[in-house]
Every structure is written in C-alpha cells, then in structure tokens.
Amino acid sequence: MTRRRIFAAAKTLLLAAILATSFHQRVATFAAAADRAARFCTSRDIACAPGHNHAVQLARCWQSVVEWRFDRDMSNWQIKNYQQALKIEIADDVAWGRSLLVHRDDKEIDTAFELTSTPIPVAAGTLCRLTIAAAHTLDLSMAQGHNESFQNQIRWLDADGSVVETTPFRFAAPSDAWYNVTVESRAPRGAATAVVQIGFDSPNLFGSRQFRLRSVAWFAQPDPPQYAAEGEMISRPQRMTEPCEQARVSWQADTPEGTSVGLQVRSAADRDGGPHEWTPWAGPDGTPKSQFTSSGTPLPAIHAGHYWFQYRLILGTNSTAVTPVVRQVRLGDEQRWIEDRAWPGADTSPPQLLDYAPRRTDDARQPLVFSLSDGPDGVGIDRHSVEAFLDGTPITAQLQRVGTAFRYEPREPLQPVFGLAAIEDWSIANFNSALTIRHGPPREPGGGTSIEVRRQGEKTDTSFALASPAVSVQPGATYQVAIWSRHTMDLRRAGSGEGPGGSVRWLDGQGHPLGDPVRLDLGGPSPQWRQTQLELTAPPAAQSAVMRLGWDYPDIVAGDEAAFADPRFDGPYPESGTRPNLHRVLVKARDFAGNACEQLWWISVQPPPASGVTAVRDDGVILVDGQPLFPIGLYSVWKREH
C-alpha cells in the first residue's frame, strides 16, 4: 500500500472513530441532554405556553373575523394593474376550480399588479393570523415590489388611516397544487385597522406564468383566551442507556379544575442503533384503550427489555377558559431515565448531510464515509430510513454503520462512467416553463429516482425533452435499450421536430447525428408502470448514443401526467479517455417527524496537480509552483496557530 493510500485510509478511520466516540458520548448523557430544548414530532391543537419556559398547553382558539372567497367576484378589493398589461379576472379551470386569475397571454413586457383588501378592524396587541390560499406557476420566493407599491404585506393603520407599521410576507416556489401562506403577527400599538396587499412588480407575468387566489381569511385570538377542548402531542423517540426493570411514567403539570392530562406510551427493542418494531400505544393495562392519568404509574410488562420509548400526551378541558400546562415528562427509574421539557415546538426541519468524504481523492478505492444530523434540538434521524446511491445505483445494503457514521467500501476502484447516466442527471428542456417537471418516488422500493411531468392550469402550448448525456458505444455492437414509463396520454404518435416521443440517436466521433433517430414506442395510456424495450445494433461509424424522451405534440393539459424511471442501455462501453473520473453520491433520510432530505455530493478521482499549484507564503506572497507571482500578494498577513 502506498503512503498516499495509507494516509487516506487513516483519515477515514479517524473520522469514523470520532463519529463513533461522539455517538457513545451522546448515548451516555441522555439525562444531561434533557436540559436542552426538545422538539416533538407532531401535534394537534397544542401550543407552547407563554412565560413557562416552553411548557405545553392547549392551543388558543382563533376567531374568524373576515373571509374573502374569489369564486364570484373581487369582493370589493382594489386593483392596481400597471399599464393594464395583465388580465385580472375570476376564471374557471378544470384542475383549479373557480378562482381569481392573474395572467398575460401575450409576449413579455413589464408587468406589475396589486390587490388591496378593505380595512379590517383590529385591537392593538391582539395576535392576528392571515391565511392566503394561492397557486402559481412561477417562483415567487424572491418576488419584489416597487418602492411602496406592488408589495406583499399587511399595512397596520391608525384611526386616521396613517401607516403605523408593515408586516411583509412571501409566497413560495412554483406549486402544482393549492397551498396556504400563513402570517401571524400582533397588531402594533396605535393600530386600529389592517389592510392586506398582494402583488409584485417582478418577476413579470406572461405566457404560461399565472398567479391564482382562491381565498383570503383573517383571524384573531379573543381576549380573554379561549382554548381548544382537546389536543395531543407525539414526542420524539428516545433511547435508554439500558432497559429498566421497574420503569414508571411521571410528569409535572398544572391541572386547573375541569382539565386533564393523559399519556400513552409505546416502546421498541433496539436494532442497529434505532427502534425495531414499536408496540401499540398503550396505557397502564398494556392496551390502546387506556391512558396514564396519574403521575408515577408503573409501565406495563409489554415494555420490558426495551430501549426505545415514545409517548403521546393528551390534554383536555371541560371549559374553554382554562387549560392544563405540562412542564416535564419522564420515563424510567431512579438510576436510568429519559426526560423531555422546554419544548420549543414541532420539528419541521429535515436532516442535513453533516460530514462526508472523500470529495477529491487520488485513491479510487477510498471508502465513502458520511454522517447526518437532525440539529441540536431535532427529534432524531430514523437510521433505518437512510438510503445511498452511487452514480444512481443503490448501495444501501452495503452500508456499514460506525456510530453515527455510514461507511461504504467500493468493491472495485471507481472508474469513469461510460454507460447511461441515471435519469436524474439528464438534461431537461421545458418550453416557457409551462410544465412541472420534478423528481418523483422510485418505481419500486430502493430503486432510483423517477422524473414526473405534468401540467396545472389552462391549456397552453407545451413541449419538453429529457436527454441523457452521450453514451460511449462500440460500432457494430448490440445494445439492450429499455425505459419504464407510466402516462395518462396516448403517446403512440407523440413527437417533435427532434423525432419521436421516445428515441435513441446515434452520433459519430464529432457528435453529428447518424441517420434518423430510432423510435422508442411509449404506447397508449398506461397508468401503471410499463417497460419499453429495444435491441439495437450500433452503426459502423457510431461512437456514442443519446437517449431522449419528450414531445411537442400532443400538448400536456391539466390532469395529464407522464413519469419515467430506470432507463437502461446495456452493452459494451469502450473507454474513450475523455470522461472525467467523477461520481455522484445521493443520500436520502428522514427524521422521526417525517421530515425528509435528499442531498448529494460529488467525488473527483484524480491525482494531485503536478504544476500550477498555488500557495500563500507566511508573509502573504502568492506562490505558483513555489515561485512568487509578482506583484500579487495578500495584505496584513501574519502566521498563527489554529
């Protein structure tokens, strides 16, 4: 083994050892960790209690003040339409129903619009909630207004109609379904009314770009408070350091007359550092029909020998004027326990890829090592949900777990990929962004990502293409070509100026097409996955091939959908010597709250550069291959230990 490989292997083992040590330290200090904030998985009608260090209570009720539904008219909203460039109307649509539609059917010009509500009475200090049901085919996450006009905001006005304060809000990325924008804010001091403004100056609306509103609603919390009659919270799962023989469930809570606190617990054995099979949610008799209602009650025998525990907290009240308040929940005995308190809210953030290696290496056999984090107050990563893919090929079954890290040892040295790339690495063309094209779930569990294509909104001209990177081929060789697809349309005559709706095109050494593309017949409507297969022989002058999916006709209309997965192009791939040794690693994972992440990194396998190496000398002088690059240098540089 070369010194370079020894060094790379040592780095990998050191990273794994550090991660493993970190894991065991965290397991050994669960009781100490209880002092930190602990988010929960999900809740219904539960809120953090004000002034009680994130204790939990029943959520306050919201009182509806006004709701505008845009299925008949504009409901007396004022309209600004710059240069009258846009159509702002109530329109019917098969997919969207009847709603307010803002659009422009003509070519792009400068557009801007603003919709302004009638004034809404408010009381200073009252917590208010604005809910907007919207849908749009363009990205509005960075939408901008112009000076004080064409803004998305709440304007708080005093009794004279002067602006006291504004609360801005944003819409999201393109959506193929209705979604709610929710804004909560307290009416500032001096506010007597509020006005809702919706609109933007950029981006421009034209062609297939559309903005829709279904409803706008305003709520306020009454004073004195009113609470929900019942609510529940599902805690994060936690692991005991070792099983308890006489475990109990206890809690600290305030329970005014007419209120109640109940708990149910479930548990699981440990499997590879995560929960195995959970028991049912159960109370003191071990059945789902009962609840723990007295703090300090022993756990039933169904939890014996288990490491993992999770509880369901159920709060109730007979009077909407009062609520129970829970400050702490503990499971265990005098020596071992797990504890929750200081709940800041539900965990809504996905896990993140924390450490990963290698990124650039000269060792094609270097193991892949990565770890994931759910943040300091997350509910924890479901280790059994972790999946990994190398160049589109699943490697989950070969992952080794070292503490919180995952390690994969390549069976063969990583080589340049000359075959067909995974479909998520194909290029995408989408005429006028009229279609929603996104990654979809695998065709079968553990498989590669699919690509979904659909249209939401009124009928318009659509055209798209998914094209693979060029595949190196051998002249005269035979190839087995296949693609899985499902679609609601008859695609037997689908196509465009580039050829049929599915095709393979042979290319010569200069990348020029050889003859007409070979048709991949996607067939008639098929809501279930169906495979199309071909056996092809490369022409004598062929050096590469491109696989293409997409069509200009027929148009894809609302309700239509097409999806593609698991393309194949099997046969000999001669090494052209022009491909970089570059590899794609995709990691998928979920936390116990169901938040999912998909993150990737690239690995470049190449020797370190022998020339053109740039460095900085201690005095700030820039060196190239050890020689000063005059007159370039760094100012105010001093050497120090790190």
Higher pLDDT: 378 or 620? It is: 378
Rounded to whole angstroms, the Cα distance separating 2 from 363 reads: 10
Pairing of strands 360-361, 596-605: parallel
The answer to whether residue 421 scores a pLDDT higher than 90 is: no
Rounded to whole angstroms, the Cα distance separating 461 from 463 reads: 7
Tokens 């193929």, located at residue: 176
Q: Which two tokens stand for residue 526?
A: 């098929």
Q: Which residues pair with 266 in a beta bridge?
A: 310
Would you place residue 52 in the very low, low, confident or very high pLDDT band (cuts 50, 70, 90)?
low
What's the pLDDT score for residue 33?
A: 38
Rounded to whole angstroms, the Cα distance separating 541 from 513 reads: 10
What's the pLDDT score for residue 434?
A: 83
Rounded to whole angstroms, the Cα distance separating 331 from 360 reads: 46
Higher pLDDT: 403 or 327? It is: 327
The verdict on pTM exceeding 0.95 is no
The answer to whether residue 25 scores a pLDDT higher than 60 is: no
Rounded to whole angstroms, the Cα distance separating 442 from 565 reads: 7
Higher pLDDT: 8 or 196? It is: 196
Going along the chain from its start, the domains and CATH numbers come out as 1-37+347-416+583-606 (2.60.40.10), 40-60+227-341 (2.60.120), 63-219 (2.60.120.200), 423-579 (2.60.120.260), 609-642 (no CATH)
The answer to whether residue 31 scores a pLDDT higher than 50 is: no
pLDDT digits (tens, 9 = 90+) for 558-578: 778 999 999 999 999 887 656
DSSP character at residue 591: B
pLDDT digits (tens, 9 = 90+) for 108-147: 899 999 999 999 999 999 999 999 999 998 889 999 999 8
Q: Which residues pair with 534 in a beta bridge?
A: 481
The answer to whether residue 635 scores a pLDDT higher than 90 is: no
N-to-C CA span, the chain? 31
Q: Which residues pair with 227 in a beta bridge?
A: 60
DSSP for 480-523, written as a single string: EEEEEEEESS--TT-EETTEESEEEEEE-TTS-B-SSPEE----
Q: Which long-range contacts (CB under 8 A, 24 or more apart) does 256-260 make?
A: 256/322, 256/323, 256/324, 257/322, 258/317, 258/318, 258/319, 258/322, 259/315, 259/316, 259/317, 259/318, 259/322, 259/323, 259/324, 260/293, 260/314, 260/315, 260/316, 260/317, 260/324
What's the pLDDT score for residue 578?
A: 60
The answer to whether residue 17 scores a pLDDT higher than 90 is: no
Question: Residues 6 or more apart from 275 whose CB is under 8 A from it?
Answer: 237, 268, 269, 307, 308
pLDDT digits (tens, 9 = 90+) for 355-368: 999 999 999 999 99
Would you place residue 166 in the very low, low, confident or very high pLDDT band (cuts 50, 70, 90)?
very high
What's the pLDDT score for residue 433?
A: 80
The answer to whether residue 383 scores a pLDDT higher than 60 is: yes
> Residues, the chain, total?
642
pLDDT digits (tens, 9 = 90+) for 279-320: 999 999 999 999 999 999 999 999 999 999 999 999 999 999
pLDDT digits (tens, 9 = 90+) for 491-534: 999 998 888 999 999 999 888 999 999 999 999 999 999 999 99
Q: Which residues pair with 586 in a beta bridge?
A: 389, 600
Q: Which two tokens stand for residue 192?
A: 């007597």
Question: Residues 6 or more apart from 124 whose CB is under 8 A from it?
Answer: 187, 188, 189, 190, 191
Average pLDDT of every residue of the chain:
89
**Mean pLDDT across 576-585:** 78
3-class DSSP state for residue 22? helix
Asked if 432 and 417 count as a contact pair (C-beta separation under 8 A), the reply is: no
What's the pLDDT score for residue 457?
A: 66
User: Lowest mean pLDDT: which of 17-26, 41-50, 145-154, 586-595?
Assistant: 17-26
Would you place residue 34 in the very low, low, confident or very high pLDDT band (cuts 50, 70, 90)?
very low
What's the pLDDT score for residue 327?
A: 95
**Mean pLDDT across 211-226:** 95
Ramachandran sector of residue 576 (left: φ over 0; alpha: ψ -120 to 50; beta: rest): alpha
Percent of the chain topping pLDDT 70 = 92
pLDDT digits (tens, 9 = 90+) for 422-467: 898 899 999 888 888 988 889 998 788 899 998 876 778 899 999 9
Would you place residue 171 in the very low, low, confident or very high pLDDT band (cuts 50, 70, 90)?
very high
Percent of the chain topping pLDDT 90 = 67
**Mean pLDDT across 202-208:** 88
Whole-number Cα distances in Å, 208 to 114, 202, 433: 20, 15, 7
